[in-house]
Amino acid sequence: MKKNIETADFSNTGYSYTLSLISGKYKPIILYCLMEYEPVRFNEMQRYLKNIADKTLSQNLKELEKDDLIIRTVYPQIPPKVEYTLSKRGHSLVKVLDKLCDWGIRNRP
């Protein structure tokens, strides 16, 4: 039996939920950076992402932390030291990100 597209609700799919967590210009790159180099400090992340504004990077990191994809660790020292790593939930996305990389390698013109 064929599904009726007119009554389908994309917003309730797993695909939609996953995209809502990793969508945007920088979130996938932040996750990829952490996947390759964790732990990463804020300034290192900024250098990796090149021309990202402090506010934009900070906002993206806060959203990823809120969604339990990354862990922010603050070390009580002067000057303050903050590191970011993937959470267990974030690590569970590694296979998905790897597949995106594989597809890009195979299909790059």
Here the CATH number for the domain that contains residue 65 is 1.10.10.10
The domain of 29 spans 14-107
- So what's the pLDDT on residue 7? 64
Q: How do residues 51-109 score in pLDDT, each as one tens digit?
A: 899 999 999 999 999 999 999 999 999 888 999 999 999 999 988 888 988 999 999 98
Banded pLDDT at 13 (limits 50, 70, 90): confident
Count of Cβ atoms closer than 10 Å to residue 67 Cβ: 15
Does any domain span residue 89? yes
Q: Please state the pTM of the whole predicted model.
A: 0.85
- So what's the pLDDT on residue 82? 94
Does any domain span residue 6? no
Does any domain span residue 58? yes
- So what's the pLDDT on residue 6? 66
**Alpha-carbon separation of residue 109 from 4, 41, 104, 105, 106 (angstroms):** 36, 34, 9, 9, 9
**Alpha-carbon separation of residue 51 from 6, 45, 54, 93 (angstroms):** 42, 11, 9, 25
Does any domain span residue 91? yes
Residue in this structure with the two tokens 């506010």, named with its chain if needed: 55
Total number of domains constituting the chain: 1
